[in-house]
Amino acid sequence: MRHLQGYGEVFQSSSTSYEHYIKALCKAINFPFDHTYCTKVTLDNYTITAEEKQRLKAIAEEIAKMPLIQIPATAKSLADFSVADQALVQRLDQIFWEEIPQMTAGKLISEVKTVGGEQKAEAIKDATSR
């Protein structure tokens, strides 16, 4: 980024990075936060109970302990995976499509609007008009 800044004004857009992370990154690399476009989230709008925090930590630990899924080179569907890897995929589906959506954390995820295609186009228009 520093190298690019030597050529002119630089802007950064990241659809998969949240504002809190981008602010910390900008501080670490001395990049102006007002030259970034990222997904905004207000965590203060959500209250996660102690029970839910414990459950989320347990889920994180469970996922961290999972072996890497081996995707066969010729795989065309889940049926082409090993039985063990099929079970892992099914468990991950259960976590991300059934368990977490029932939690406050799931509500937070579903309500956050990420910077997608249309927002990226707006970011480019905004950056070029400065």
Which neighbouring-strand residues pair with 46?
none
User: According to the model, what pLDDT value does residue 124 have?
Assistant: 78
One domain for residues 51 and 93: yes
pLDDT band at 115 (very low <50, low <70, confident <90, very high): low
107 and 59 together in one domain: yes
Distance CA 4, CA 8 (A): 7
Say how many CA atoms lie within 13 Å of 96 toward its Cβ: 8
Number of folded domains that form the chain = 2
Q: CA of 128: how far to CAs of 18, 38, 57, 96, 121, in Å?
A: 23, 17, 42, 38, 11
State whether 61 and 86 are in the same domain: yes
71-98 pLDDT, tens digit each:
999 999 999 999 999 999 999 999 999 9
What would the mean pLDDT of 54-60 be, rounded to a whole number?
Answer: 97
Identify whether residues 35 and 57 lie together within a single domain: no
Q: Are residues 7 and 60 in the same domain?
A: no
Q: Which domain holds residue 92?
A: 44-111
**Measured distance CA(18)–CA(122) in Å, rounded:** 18
pLDDT at 15: 67
Secondary element (H or E) of residue 38: strand 36-39
CB 23 within 8 A of CB 98: no
Q: pLDDT higher for 105 or 5?
A: 105
Rounded Cα distance, 121 and 74, in Å: 37
Structure confidence by residue, pLDDT tens digits, 4-45:
878 888 888 876 788 889 999 999 999 999 999 888 888 788
Residues 22 and 71 in one domain: no
Backbone angles phi, psi at 36, to 5 degrees: -120, 155
In a shared domain, residues 60 and 104: yes
- 121 and 104 inside one domain: no
